[in-house]
């Protein structure tokens, strides 16, 4: 049967398109946009197949296969196109992962499927996103260029990638499930204390230290919720000033959004490291967690290391603030003194995210470019 399928592919021209979504840790709901994008792809293309390097336990409305089984399943099921994200993962898929350079493989590095993709004539499409192994250095751009050359289609929405690689197709920076994180006005029933939220992973560039330092100098008129792998730091702020939740399920985080006025995101550019380390990354603006919170109606107070104002305008849709404790403290004090302004900017930002950043918009653009 496998031989017959291969012969049919070779002599019958391009078969009916069928997409496979490949990932390293799918379906991981805490990965945010990857989970939202996968569900949006499934809604648009119900025959899509899904593969993951690591077995996960999150519920998902379709089977998720082991990436190691991709060669057999792809041939049997007639996969014509594959899609993935992040430079580390895509580089592995095309045989250019860090491990090929004598560097220890990164957990996100994809399995080398390059020979399978060529032999089965499967087109590989990928999105180059901030983070995920991409660093804006000369060495980083050279590595990215080699990966882009091996992709049938490459997408991006960051100016630093689009300006360097003319073959990369621009797509909207649309990655939030705005239906799930619908705006709520519950939070405005009371505006004191000013309730704030920090939600991010552990890398220092995410800015938790800045947030902790800022709140250590604020009084009882302010309160901070911290979400992420930070429980070990709860002693750094008094219980009357903060709650450290650990990771929350998406619905739990959405419920927390409804009680929060301000989402703080004091992100910064990571110092560069040795080649292949992936250090030196800068998160896109806004971060996934920030966009989700804005969709829920929270006001965003954030740094903007890339100076990216294509979607959100400071002072209109969010408050831009340098990633320093004193600056964040002053910004929050100003917002606490003007609840009308806080609510106005929050509502404008939420509306803007709903108009421009819904994940379905991004998925539709990519599927159109893939001709699927």
- The answer to whether 222 and 198 have CB atoms below 8 angstroms apart is no
Assign residue 154 the CATH number of its domain: 3.40.50.2000
Tell me if 3 is assigned to some domain: no
**Do both 111 and 38 map to the same domain?**
yes
Q: What is the pLDDT of residues 247-263, one digit of tens each?
A: 998 899 999 999 999 99
Question: What sign results for the dihedral spanned by CA atoms 27, 253, 315, 306?
Answer: negative
Q: Say whether 121 sits in a helix, a strand or coil.
A: coil
**Do both 321 and 290 map to the same domain?**
yes
Give phi and psi for 77, each to the nearest 5. -95, 0
Structural domain boundaries, residue 88: 9-175+358-370
Q: What is the pLDDT of residues 264-277, one digit of tens each?
A: 999 998 777 676 55
Query: ω before 193 within 30° of 0 (cis)?
Result: yes
Band of pLDDT at residue 341, cut at 50, 70 and 90: very high
CA distance linking residue 350 with residue 298, whole number of Å: 7
**Do both 39 and 171 map to the same domain?**
yes
**Do both 137 and 200 map to the same domain?**
no
**Do both 191 and 310 map to the same domain?**
yes
Band of pLDDT at residue 99, cut at 50, 70 and 90: low
Total residue length of the chain: 372
Q: What is the pLDDT of residues 118-129, one digit of tens each?
A: 999 999 999 998
Tell me if 352 is assigned to some domain: yes
Tell me if 259 is assigned to some domain: yes
**Do both 253 and 106 map to the same domain?**
no
**Do both 338 and 364 map to the same domain?**
no
| The model's pTM | 0.86
**Do both 170 and 297 map to the same domain?**
no
Count of domains for the chain: 2
**Do both 345 and 364 map to the same domain?**
no
**121 Rama class: left (phi>0) / alpha (psi -120 to 50) / beta:** left
CA distance linking residue 45 with residue 62, whole number of Å: 12
- The answer to whether 195 and 261 have CB atoms below 8 angstroms apart is yes
Give the residues across from 52 on adjacent strands: 23, 66
Tell me if 228 is assigned to some domain: yes
**Do both 260 and 130 map to the same domain?**
no
Give phi and psi for 269, each to the nearest 5. -80, 130
Nearest to 157 by CA among 3, 310, 11: 310
């Amino acid at each position: 049967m496998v031989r017959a399928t291969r012969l049919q592919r070779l002599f019958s021209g391009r078969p009916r398109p069928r997409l496979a979504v490949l990932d390293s840790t799918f379906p991981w709901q805490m990965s945010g946009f990857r989970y939202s994008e996968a569900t949006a792809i499934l809604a648009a293309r119900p025959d899509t197949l899904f593969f993951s390097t690591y077995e996960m336990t999150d519920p998902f409305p379709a089977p998720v296969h082991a990436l190691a089984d991709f060669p057999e399943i792809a041939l049997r099921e007639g996969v014509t196109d594959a899609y993935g994200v992040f430079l580390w993962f895509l580089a592995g898929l095309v045989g250019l992962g860090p491990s090929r350079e004598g560097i220890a493989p990164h957990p996100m590095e994809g399995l080398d499927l390059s020979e399978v993709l060529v032999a089965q004539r499967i087109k590989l499409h990928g999105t180059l996103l901030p983070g995920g192994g991409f660093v804006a250095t000369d060495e980083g751009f050279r590595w990215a260029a080699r990966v882009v050359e091996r992709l049938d289609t490459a997408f991006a929405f960051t100016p630093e990638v689009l300006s360097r690689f003319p073959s990369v197709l621009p797509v909207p920076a649309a990655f939030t499930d705005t239906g799930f994180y619908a705006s709520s006005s519950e939070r405005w029933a009371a505006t004191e204390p000013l309730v704030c939220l920090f939600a991010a992973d552990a890398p220092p560039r995410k800015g938790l230290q800045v947030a902790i330092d800022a709140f250590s100098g604020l009084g009882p008129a302010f309160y901070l919720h911290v979400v992420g792998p930070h429980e070990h730091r709860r002693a750094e702020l008094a219980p009357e000033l903060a709650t450290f939740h650990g990771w929350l399920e998406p619905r739990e985080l959405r419920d927390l959004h409804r009680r929060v006025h301000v989402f703080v995101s004091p992100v910064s550019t990571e110092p560069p490291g040795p080649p292949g380390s992936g250090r030196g990354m800068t998160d896109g603006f806004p971060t996934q967690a920030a966009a989700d919170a804005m969709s829920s109606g929270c006001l965003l107070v954030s740094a903007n290391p890339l100076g990216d104002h294509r979607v959100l305008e400071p002072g209109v849709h969010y408050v831009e603030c340098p990633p320093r404790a004193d600056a964040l403290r002053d910004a929050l004090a100003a917002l606490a003194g003007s609840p009308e302004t806080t609510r106005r900017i929050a509502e404008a930002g939420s509306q803007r995210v709903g108009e421009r950043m819904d994940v379905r918009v991004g998925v539709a653009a990519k599927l159109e470019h893939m001709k699927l």
